[in-house]
Amino acid sequence: MWPTTWPGDAFNKESPLSLPPVFDFHTHTLFSDGELVPAELARRARMAGYEVLGLADHADHGCLDHILGSVRGSALALAGHLGGLTILPGVEITHVPPPLLADLVKKARDLGASHVVVHGESPVEPVAPGTNLAAIEAGVDLLAHPGFLSEKEAARAAEKGVFLELSLRGGHGLTNGWVARLARKYGAGLLVSSDGHLVGEYLTPELQRSTALGAGLSEEEFAALMDGAARLAETARRRLSL
Protein backbone atom coordinates (compact mmCIF):
# COMPACT_ATOMS: atom_id res chain seq x y z
CA MET A 1 0.00 0.00 0.00
CA TRP A 2 1.17 3.55 -0.75
CA PRO A 3 2.58 5.05 2.46
CA THR A 4 0.34 7.47 4.32
CA THR A 5 3.27 9.73 5.18
CA TRP A 6 5.86 11.14 2.80
CA PRO A 7 9.32 9.87 3.79
CA GLY A 8 10.74 13.37 3.98
CA ASP A 9 12.50 12.62 7.24
CA ALA A 10 14.93 10.54 5.19
CA PHE A 11 16.46 13.76 3.90
CA ASN A 12 17.03 15.11 7.39
CA LYS A 13 19.15 12.15 8.40
CA GLU A 14 22.66 11.22 7.46
CA SER A 15 22.89 8.81 4.54
CA PRO A 16 23.78 5.23 5.36
CA LEU A 17 27.52 4.80 5.84
CA SER A 18 27.71 2.51 2.82
CA LEU A 19 25.61 3.38 -0.20
CA PRO A 20 25.44 1.09 -3.24
CA PRO A 21 27.40 2.14 -6.31
CA VAL A 22 25.59 3.72 -9.23
CA PHE A 23 23.90 1.55 -11.85
CA ASP A 24 22.80 4.01 -14.55
CA PHE A 25 21.44 2.57 -17.80
CA HIS A 26 20.50 5.89 -19.42
CA THR A 27 23.27 8.34 -20.32
CA HIS A 28 24.18 10.24 -23.48
CA THR A 29 27.43 10.97 -25.31
CA LEU A 30 28.32 13.23 -28.22
CA PHE A 31 27.22 10.43 -30.53
CA SER A 32 23.77 11.98 -30.01
CA ASP A 33 23.13 15.11 -27.90
CA GLY A 34 25.56 14.66 -25.02
CA GLU A 35 28.79 16.63 -24.71
CA LEU A 36 31.37 13.95 -23.82
CA VAL A 37 33.07 11.16 -25.71
CA PRO A 38 32.45 7.78 -24.04
CA ALA A 39 35.99 7.60 -22.64
CA GLU A 40 35.67 10.86 -20.72
CA LEU A 41 32.15 10.06 -19.58
CA ALA A 42 33.36 6.68 -18.33
CA ARG A 43 36.27 8.22 -16.41
CA ARG A 44 34.02 10.79 -14.79
CA ALA A 45 31.45 8.11 -13.98
CA ARG A 46 34.05 5.92 -12.33
CA MET A 47 35.22 8.80 -10.15
CA ALA A 48 31.61 9.62 -9.23
CA GLY A 49 30.91 6.15 -7.85
CA TYR A 50 29.51 4.25 -10.83
CA GLU A 51 29.77 0.49 -11.18
CA VAL A 52 27.65 0.27 -14.34
CA LEU A 53 27.49 2.97 -17.03
CA GLY A 54 24.82 2.37 -19.64
CA LEU A 55 25.25 4.37 -22.83
CA ALA A 56 21.88 5.05 -24.45
CA ASP A 57 22.22 7.61 -27.20
CA HIS A 58 19.16 8.71 -29.16
CA ALA A 59 18.45 6.77 -32.34
CA ASP A 60 15.83 6.09 -34.97
CA HIS A 61 15.90 4.09 -38.20
CA GLY A 62 18.40 6.36 -39.93
CA CYS A 63 21.16 6.33 -37.32
CA LEU A 64 20.70 3.13 -35.31
CA ASP A 65 23.56 1.28 -37.02
CA HIS A 66 25.95 4.19 -36.58
CA ILE A 67 25.06 4.82 -32.93
CA LEU A 68 25.39 1.21 -31.88
CA GLY A 69 28.56 0.67 -33.87
CA SER A 70 30.13 3.70 -32.24
CA VAL A 71 29.18 3.00 -28.63
CA ARG A 72 29.98 -0.71 -28.94
CA GLY A 73 33.40 0.13 -30.28
CA SER A 74 34.08 2.45 -27.35
CA ALA A 75 32.71 0.07 -24.74
CA LEU A 76 34.70 -2.90 -25.97
CA ALA A 77 37.93 -0.90 -26.29
CA LEU A 78 37.61 0.53 -22.77
CA ALA A 79 36.60 -2.74 -21.09
CA GLY A 80 39.01 -3.67 -18.30
CA HIS A 81 40.76 -0.28 -18.23
CA LEU A 82 38.55 1.66 -15.82
CA GLY A 83 38.96 0.00 -12.46
CA GLY A 84 36.04 -2.39 -12.64
CA LEU A 85 33.54 -0.06 -14.30
CA THR A 86 31.23 -1.90 -16.72
CA ILE A 87 30.29 0.11 -19.81
CA LEU A 88 27.14 -1.12 -21.53
CA PRO A 89 26.52 -0.03 -25.14
CA GLY A 90 22.78 0.40 -25.42
CA VAL A 91 20.49 2.78 -27.25
CA GLU A 92 17.48 5.01 -26.61
CA ILE A 93 14.93 4.75 -29.40
CA THR A 94 13.43 8.21 -29.54
CA HIS A 95 10.20 9.68 -30.97
CA VAL A 96 9.70 6.71 -33.31
CA PRO A 97 6.00 6.17 -34.16
CA PRO A 98 4.52 3.45 -31.97
CA PRO A 99 3.67 1.03 -34.82
CA LEU A 100 7.36 0.97 -35.81
CA LEU A 101 8.84 0.35 -32.37
CA ALA A 102 8.75 -3.43 -32.20
CA ASP A 103 10.78 -3.92 -35.38
CA LEU A 104 13.33 -1.30 -34.35
CA VAL A 105 13.75 -2.82 -30.89
CA LYS A 106 14.44 -6.19 -32.53
CA LYS A 107 16.92 -4.60 -34.93
CA ALA A 108 18.76 -2.93 -32.04
CA ARG A 109 19.13 -6.28 -30.31
CA ASP A 110 20.28 -7.91 -33.56
CA LEU A 111 22.93 -5.17 -33.88
CA GLY A 112 24.30 -6.01 -30.44
CA ALA A 113 22.68 -3.52 -28.07
CA SER A 114 23.37 -4.52 -24.48
CA HIS A 115 20.06 -2.95 -23.45
CA VAL A 116 17.29 -1.10 -25.23
CA VAL A 117 15.65 2.00 -23.81
CA VAL A 118 12.62 3.72 -25.34
CA HIS A 119 11.94 7.42 -24.83
CA GLY A 120 8.60 7.36 -23.03
CA GLU A 121 5.71 9.81 -22.88
CA SER A 122 7.42 12.48 -20.79
CA PRO A 123 5.18 15.29 -19.56
CA VAL A 124 7.53 17.87 -21.13
CA GLU A 125 7.86 16.52 -24.70
CA PRO A 126 5.35 15.85 -27.51
CA VAL A 127 5.86 12.08 -27.59
CA ALA A 128 3.24 10.23 -29.63
CA PRO A 129 0.44 8.74 -27.53
CA GLY A 130 0.74 4.96 -27.44
CA THR A 131 4.54 5.01 -27.24
CA ASN A 132 4.62 3.69 -23.67
CA LEU A 133 2.43 0.68 -24.39
CA ALA A 134 4.12 -0.12 -27.71
CA ALA A 135 7.53 -0.06 -26.03
CA ILE A 136 6.34 -2.32 -23.22
CA GLU A 137 4.77 -4.78 -25.65
CA ALA A 138 8.04 -4.82 -27.62
CA GLY A 139 9.80 -5.96 -24.44
CA VAL A 140 12.30 -3.14 -24.05
CA ASP A 141 14.59 -3.24 -21.04
CA LEU A 142 13.76 0.25 -19.76
CA LEU A 143 10.91 2.63 -20.48
CA ALA A 144 12.43 6.04 -19.87
CA HIS A 145 10.48 8.86 -18.18
CA PRO A 146 7.04 7.38 -18.92
CA GLY A 147 5.13 10.44 -17.69
CA PHE A 148 1.53 9.83 -16.65
CA LEU A 149 1.78 6.09 -17.07
CA SER A 150 -1.59 4.35 -17.19
CA GLU A 151 -2.60 1.49 -14.93
CA LYS A 152 -2.75 -0.80 -17.97
CA GLU A 153 0.79 0.16 -18.93
CA ALA A 154 2.09 -0.42 -15.41
CA ALA A 155 0.43 -3.83 -15.24
CA ARG A 156 1.84 -4.85 -18.62
CA ALA A 157 5.31 -3.63 -17.63
CA ALA A 158 5.16 -5.92 -14.62
CA GLU A 159 4.01 -8.85 -16.76
CA LYS A 160 6.67 -8.25 -19.43
CA GLY A 161 9.55 -7.53 -17.04
CA VAL A 162 10.05 -4.01 -18.37
CA PHE A 163 11.70 -1.59 -15.95
CA LEU A 164 10.19 1.87 -15.44
CA GLU A 165 12.45 4.86 -14.95
CA LEU A 166 12.68 7.30 -12.07
CA SER A 167 14.49 10.15 -13.77
CA LEU A 168 16.96 12.60 -12.29
CA ARG A 169 16.49 14.88 -15.29
CA GLY A 170 14.52 18.08 -14.78
CA GLY A 171 11.07 17.99 -16.34
CA HIS A 172 11.14 14.29 -17.07
CA GLY A 173 11.23 13.58 -13.35
CA LEU A 174 8.06 15.53 -12.56
CA THR A 175 6.01 12.33 -12.58
CA ASN A 176 8.45 10.12 -10.66
CA GLY A 177 6.04 9.84 -7.74
CA TRP A 178 3.19 8.81 -10.05
CA VAL A 179 5.36 6.18 -11.73
CA ALA A 180 6.56 4.83 -8.39
CA ARG A 181 3.01 4.56 -7.06
CA LEU A 182 1.79 2.54 -10.05
CA ALA A 183 4.92 0.39 -10.08
CA ARG A 184 4.27 -0.49 -6.45
CA LYS A 185 0.59 -1.23 -7.13
CA TYR A 186 1.31 -3.65 -9.98
CA GLY A 187 4.74 -4.99 -9.06
CA ALA A 188 6.71 -3.40 -11.91
CA GLY A 189 10.46 -2.95 -11.59
CA LEU A 190 11.97 0.51 -11.18
CA LEU A 191 15.38 1.95 -12.02
CA VAL A 192 16.91 5.31 -11.20
CA SER A 193 18.57 6.93 -14.22
CA SER A 194 20.34 10.22 -14.78
CA ASP A 195 19.44 10.74 -18.45
CA GLY A 196 22.62 12.79 -18.24
CA HIS A 197 23.81 14.81 -21.23
CA LEU A 198 26.22 17.33 -19.68
CA VAL A 199 28.87 17.42 -16.98
CA GLY A 200 27.04 17.81 -13.68
CA GLU A 201 23.93 15.92 -14.79
CA TYR A 202 25.00 12.42 -13.80
CA LEU A 203 24.29 10.39 -10.68
CA THR A 204 26.25 9.83 -7.52
CA PRO A 205 25.41 7.16 -4.94
CA GLU A 206 23.72 9.86 -2.85
CA LEU A 207 21.66 11.21 -5.76
CA GLN A 208 20.67 7.69 -6.77
CA ARG A 209 19.23 7.09 -3.30
CA SER A 210 17.61 10.51 -2.93
CA THR A 211 15.90 10.24 -6.33
CA ALA A 212 14.34 6.96 -5.25
CA LEU A 213 13.31 8.21 -1.80
CA GLY A 214 12.05 11.46 -3.29
CA ALA A 215 9.67 9.43 -5.47
CA GLY A 216 8.25 7.88 -2.31
CA LEU A 217 10.22 4.65 -2.06
CA SER A 218 11.21 3.26 1.31
CA GLU A 219 14.77 2.16 2.07
CA GLU A 220 13.65 -1.44 1.58
CA GLU A 221 12.15 -0.59 -1.80
CA PHE A 222 15.33 1.21 -2.77
CA ALA A 223 17.30 -1.93 -1.91
CA ALA A 224 14.95 -3.96 -4.12
CA LEU A 225 15.42 -1.42 -6.91
CA MET A 226 19.18 -1.89 -6.69
CA ASP A 227 18.75 -5.67 -6.81
CA GLY A 228 16.80 -5.23 -10.04
CA ALA A 229 19.52 -2.99 -11.45
CA ALA A 230 22.11 -5.66 -10.70
CA ARG A 231 19.99 -8.28 -12.47
CA LEU A 232 19.62 -6.12 -15.58
CA ALA A 233 23.36 -5.42 -15.58
CA GLU A 234 24.07 -9.15 -15.50
CA THR A 235 21.64 -9.76 -18.37
CA ALA A 236 23.31 -6.99 -20.38
CA ARG A 237 26.78 -8.38 -19.65
CA ARG A 238 25.71 -11.80 -20.88
CA ARG A 239 24.46 -10.29 -24.12
CA LEU A 240 27.92 -8.84 -24.65
CA SER A 241 29.80 -11.80 -23.15
CA LEU A 242 31.60 -9.35 -20.83
- pTM for the model stands at 0.92
User: Region 104-120: what's the mean pLDDT?
Assistant: 98
**pLDDT at residue 7 above 70?**
no
Confidence of residue 241 (pLDDT cuts 50, 70, 90): confident
Instruction: Give the pLDDT confidence of 9-34 residue by residue, as tens digits.
Output: 343 444 455 999 999 999 999 999 99
User: Region 91-108: what's the mean pLDDT?
Assistant: 98
Domain positions in the chain are: 22-240
3-state secondary structure the chain: CCCCCCCHHHHHCCCCCCCCCEEEEEECCCCCCCCCCHHHHHHHHHHHCEEEEEEEEEECCCCHHHHHHHHHHHHHHHCCCCCCCEEEEEEEECCCCHHHHHHHHHHHHHCCCCCEEEECCCCCCCCCCCHHHHHHHCCCCEEECCCCCCHHHHHHHHHHCCEEEEECCCCHHHHHHHHHHHHHHHCCCEEEECCECCCCCCCCHHHHHHHHHHCCCCHHHHHHHHHHHHHHHHHHHHHHCC
* CATH H-level superfamily of 22-240: Metal-dependent hydrolases (3.20.20.140)
